[in-house]
C-alpha cells in the first residue's frame, strides 16, 4: 500500500465524529438554505396581505383563496395545460425514438445515439428558447420555408403553440432517456413468443410492450410534468403576455410590479405541493431505475 | 418479429426527431455567420457578430461573474456533496431518509420555489444580496447533482477494498483518501461538470439572489433577447454551445471509461 509514514502515530478520531464530519457540512447548508427558507415561505404564505382599508381576515388563508380568484386561476390552469400538453407530446414523440434505439438500432451505436439525442440538453436553456424565436417569428426560418413553397405564413410566436414547441423541445431528451431505460429491459422472449402464437405486431405492442414498460412511461410522464410545471423561460420568451404561467405569477410577486410576498409564497407552496404529489405517484408507480435519472 | 415496414417507420421517425433536436442549433449557427442581421436569407459570410460580443464589456463581465459563481459553487458542492454521499452510504442513523430526501429535493422542486425561499430567507436574516449569496444558493442544487452521481458510483463499488485497507492498518481517514477517493474521482469529476454547466445556465435562482450589483450571463442574455432578436446573441450562443458540448463530452467519456473499466 502507499500509506504514508506519518500515519502510524496519528491517533484515530472517535467513531461518532466520522459521520458528523461527513454529513454536517452538507446538512447545515441544506438546513440553512433549503429547509428553513421553505418553512419561512410557508409561514409567510399564511400572513394576510393587509392593504390600507382592508378588512382583516383572521383566517390567514387569504393568500390561498386568492389563487382561486379569476385574476390568477386561469394562470394556474394555463400552467397545468402547458405541462400536461408537453407531457403528452413528449410521450408521443419520444416513444418511437426510444423504441427504435432500444430495439432496432445497432448495439454498438446505442450509447452514441443516446448521447447524441441528449447533447442539446447541455446547451443554455435560454439560448435554445431564443433559437425557437428565430425559427417561429414572422420573418423567421419556418415562414421563409413556408412562403418559398407557396404556403401562407404562420404567426406562431407569442402563441401557446410556440410555448408547447419550446417546452417539448426542452424536455423530450429526458423522456427518451427514461423510456429507453425501460424499453431496454424488455423481455424479448415474450415478444417472440407472442409472434409465434400468432399475435399481430399491433397486438404484441399493446399487450406485451406497453404493459411491460408502463412504469417507465409513468416515470417519464411525471418527470416531464414536474419540470414543465415550473418552466419560466419558454412561456416567457415564446408565449408573450397572453401565455403567462404560475412561475411568472410568482416572479411578479417578488421581482415584478405587483409586490406581494405573502401571495407569492402561497403560490410557491402550491407549486411545491403539486410537485410533491407527483413525486409520491412516481415513487408508487414509477420505474425504480428510471428514478435515478 | 416486427415487420420491416414498421422498422423503417420508427427509424425514419427517429431521424426526424434528431433533426428536431438539432434544428435550433443549426439555425443559431447559420444566423451567427449571416451578414444580414434580421432575416432568414443568406446575405454573405461574416465573423463580425463574434467580434462584436467579444468586445462587449457587459457580456464579458457577466460571463466572468457566471464563471466565478459556477466555479465556487461547484468547488464547495464537490467537497461537501462527496462527503455527504459517502456518509449517507456508510452510516445508518435516525432521520437518514429525511436527510436524503432533503438533499435530492432541489432536483425536483421548481427553481422558482427555491429562488423565492432563498430570497425571503436572506431578507429575514438581513444578509445583503451579492455574488456570495448567489454562490450559496447555487451550492444547494450543485450539491444534489454531485451527490447523485457520486452515490450511484458508490453503490457499484467493491466494499472489500476499503475493508482490506483498514485490516492492513490504514486509518479511516487514510482509507478514505487513498482507497475510496481515487475510485470515486471519475464520478466526482462528471458530477462537477454537470453542476458547473447547470450553474452557468441558471437564470431564476441567480435573478432572485443577485441584488443590484451582480449580473450573471443568463441574466444579461435574458434582458437582451426579451426585447428583440440580436445577431450578436447568435454568435454568443454558438460559442457557449461549443463550450458546454465540450463539457458534456468530457463528462460522458469519463463516465463511459470508468464503466468500461469496471466490467473488465
pLDDT tens readout for residues A116-145: 999 888 888 999 999 999 899 888 888 888
Confidence class for position A62, pLDDT limits 50, 70, 90: confident
Q: Which residues of B50-68 are buried (b: 16+ CB within 10 A; e: fewer)?
A: beebeebeebeebbebbee
Position with higher pLDDT, A18 vs B186 = B186
CB contacts of B80 in chain A (<8 Å) are 25-26, 29
Phi and psi (nearest 5°) for B129? -70, 140
B138-155 per-position pLDDT tens digit: 999 999 999 999 998 898
Distance from the Cα of A54 to chain B's closest Cα (Å) equals 24
Query: Is A21 within 8 Å of B121 when comparing Cβ atoms?
Result: no
Query: Could you tell me the pTM of the whole model?
Result: 0.88
For residue B231 the three cell numbers come to: 445577431
Give the pLDDT of residue B7. Answer: 58
Query: Is A122 within 8 Å of B113 when comparing Cβ atoms?
Result: no
Query: Is B22 within 8 Å of A125 when comparing Cβ atoms?
Result: no
Q: What is the mean pLDDT of chain A?
A: 86
Other Cβ atoms within 10 Å of B250 Cβ, number: 13
Of A212, A21, A9, nearest in space to A103 by CA: A212
Considering chain A, what percentage of its residues have pLDDT values greater than 70?
Answer: 89
Give the pLDDT of residue A293. Answer: 43
Of A125, A140, A156, A141, nearest in space to A238 by CA: A156
Q: Report, as an integer, the average pLDDT of A157-178.
A: 95
Give the pLDDT of residue A138. Answer: 83
Q: Name every residue whose Cβ is closer than 8 Å to that of residue B123 and which is 6 or more positions away in sequence.
A: none
Query: Is B116 within 8 Å of A41 when comparing Cβ atoms?
Result: yes
Q: Name every residue whose Cβ is closer than 8 Å to that of residue A93 and which is 6 or more positions away in sequence.
A: A168, A172, B17, B20
Q: For B67, how many CA atoms within 13 A lie in the half-sphere containing its CB?
A: 9
Residue B149: closest C-alpha in chain A:
A292
Query: Is B112 within 8 Å of A250 when comparing Cβ atoms?
Result: yes
Give the pLDDT of residue A191. Answer: 83
Q: For A198, how many CA atoms within 13 A lie in the half-sphere containing its CB?
A: 0
Of A278, A282, A179, A286, nearest in space to A230 by CA: A278
Is pLDDT at B263 greater than 60 in this prediction? no
Is pLDDT at B4 greater than 50 in this prediction? no
Length of chain B equals 264
> Distance (Å, rounded) from C-alpha B6 to C-alpha A99?
11
A79-100 per-position pLDDT tens digit: 999 999 999 999 999 999 999 9
Task: Indicate the residue of B84, B121, B237 with minimum beta-carbon distance to A127.
Answer: B237
Does ipTM top 0.85?
Answer: yes
Q: At what angle do helices B57-90 and B217-225 cross, to 10 degrees?
A: 130
Residue A123: closest C-alpha in chain B:
B241
B94-107 per-position pLDDT tens digit: 989 899 989 999 98
Query: Is A230 within 8 Å of B18 when comparing Cβ atoms?
Result: no
- Taking the Cβ of residue B124 and every Cβ of chain A, the question of whether any pair is shorter than 8 Å is answered with yes
Give the pLDDT of residue A12. Answer: 59
Contact B203, A231 (CB under 8 A): no
Of A243, A242, A244, A266, nearest in space to A254 by CA: A266
Sign of the Cα pseudo-torsion (A210, A214, A219, A223, in order): positive
DSSP characters over chain B = ---HHHHHHHHHHHHHHHHHHHHHHHHHHHHHHBSSTT-SS---B--HHHHHHHT-HHHHHHHHHHHHHHHHHHHHHHHHHHHHHHHHHH---TTHHHHHHHHHHHHHS-HHHHHHHHHHHHHHTTPPPSHHHHHHHHHHHHHHHHHHHHHHHHHTS-THHHHHHHHTT--HHHIIIIIIHHHHHHHHHHHHHHHHHHHHH--HHHHHH-TTT---HHHHHHHHHTT---HHHHHHHHHHHHHHHHHHHHHHHHHHHHHHHHH-
> Distance (Å, rounded) from C-alpha A33 to C-alpha B162?
34
Which residues are registered as beta bridge partners of B34?
Answer: B45
**Beta carbon pairs, A and B, within 8 Å:** 261
Which residues are registered as beta bridge partners of B45?
Answer: B34
> Distance (Å, rounded) from C-alpha B208 to C-alpha B110?
14
Amino acid at each position: 500500500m502507499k500509506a504514508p509514514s506519518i500515519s502510524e502515530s496519528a491517533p484515530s478520531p472517535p467513531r461518532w465524529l466520522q459521520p458528523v464530519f461527513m454529513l454536517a457540512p452538507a446538512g447545515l447548508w441544506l438546513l440553512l438554505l433549503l429547509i428553513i427558507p421553505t418553512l419561512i415561505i410557508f409561514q409567510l404564505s399564511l400572513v394576510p396581505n393587509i392593504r390600507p382599508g382592508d378588512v382583516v381576515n383572521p383566517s390567514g388563508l387569504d393568500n390561498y383563496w386568492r389563487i382561486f380568484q379569476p385574476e390568477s386561476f386561469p394562470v394556474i390552469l394555463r400552467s397545468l395545460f402547458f405541462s400536461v400538453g408537453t407531457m403528452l407530446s413528449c410521450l408521443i414523440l419520444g416513444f418511437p425514438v426510444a423504441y427504435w434505439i432500444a430495439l432496432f438500432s445497432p448495439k454498438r451505436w446505442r450509447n452514441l445515439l443516446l448521447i447524441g439525442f441528449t447533447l442539446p440538453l447541455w446547451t443554455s436553456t435560454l439560448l435554445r428558447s431564443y433559437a425557437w424565436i428565430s425559427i417561429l417569428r414572422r420573418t423567421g426560418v419556418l415562414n421563409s420555408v413556408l412562403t418559398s413553397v407557396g404556403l401562407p405564413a404562420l404567426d406562431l410566436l407569442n402563441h401557446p403553440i410556440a410555448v408547447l414547441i419550446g417546452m417539448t423541445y426542452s424536455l423530450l431528451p429526458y423522456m427518451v432517456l427514461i423510456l429507453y431505460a425501460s424499453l431496454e429491459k424488455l423481455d424479448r422472449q415474450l415478444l417472440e413468443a407472442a409472434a409465434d402464437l400468432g399475435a399481430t405486431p399491433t397486438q404484441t405492442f399493446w399487450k406485451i410492450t406497453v404493459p411491460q414498460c408502463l412504469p417507465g412511461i409513468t416515470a417519464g410522464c411525471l418527470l416531464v410534468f414536474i419540470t414543465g410545471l415550473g418552466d419560466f423561460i419558454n412561456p416567457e420568451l415564446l408565449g408573450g403576455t397572453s401565455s403567462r404561467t404560475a412561475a411568472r405569477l410568482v416572479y411578479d410577486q417578488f421581482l415584478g410590479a405587483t409586490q406581494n410576498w405573502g401571495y407569492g409564497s402561497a403560490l410557491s407552496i402550491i407549486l411545491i405541493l403539486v410537485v410533491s404529489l407527483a413525486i409520491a405517484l412516481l415513487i408508487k408507480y414509477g420505474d425504480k431505475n428510471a428514478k435515478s435519472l | 418479429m416486427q415487420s420491416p415496414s414498421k422498422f423503417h417507420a420508427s427509424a425514419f421517425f427517429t431521424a426526424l426527431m434528431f433533426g428536431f433536436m438539432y434544428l435550433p442549433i443549426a439555425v443559431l449557427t447559420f444566423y451567427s455567420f449571416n451578414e444580414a442581421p434580421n432575416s432568414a436569407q443568406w446575405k454573405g459570410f461574416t465573423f463580425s457578430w463574434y467580434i462584436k460580443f467579444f468586445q462587449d464589456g457587459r457580456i464579458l463581465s457577466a460571463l466572468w461573474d457566471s464563471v466565478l459563481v459556477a466555479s465556487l459553487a461547484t468547488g464547495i458542492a464537490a467537497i461537501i456533496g462527496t462527503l455527504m454521499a459517502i456518509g449517507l452510504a456508510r452510516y445508518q442513523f435516525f432521520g437518514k431518509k429525511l436527510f436524503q430526501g432533503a438533499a435530492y429535493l432541489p432536483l425536483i422542486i421548481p427553481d422558482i420555489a427555491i429562488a423565492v425561499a432563498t430570497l425571503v430567507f436572506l431578507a429575514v436574516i438581513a444578509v445583503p444580496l451579492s455574488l456570495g449569496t448567489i454562490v450559496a444558493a447555487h451550492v444547494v442544487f450543485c450539491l444534489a447533482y454531485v451527490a447523485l452521481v457520486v452515490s450511484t458510483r458508490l453503490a457499484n463499488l467493491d466494499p472489500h477494498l476499503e475493508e482490506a485497507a483498514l485490516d492492513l492498518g490504514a486509518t479511516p481517514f487514510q482509507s478514505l483518501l487513498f482507497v475510496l477517493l481515487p475510485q470515486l474521482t471519475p464520478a466526482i469529476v462528471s458530477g462537477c461538470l454537470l453542476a458547473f454547466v447547470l450553474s452557468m445556465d441558471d437564470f431564476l435562482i441567480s435573478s432572485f439572489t443577485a441584488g443590484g450589483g451582480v449580473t450573471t450571463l443568463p441574466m444579461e442574455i435574458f434582458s437582451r433577447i426579451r426585447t428583440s432578436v440580436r445577431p450578436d446573441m447568435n454568435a454568443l450562443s454558438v460559442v457557449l454551445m461549443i463550450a458546454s458540448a465540450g463539457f458534456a463530452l468530457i463528462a460522458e467519456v469519463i463516465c463511459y471509461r470508468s464503466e468500461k473499466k469496471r466490467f473488465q
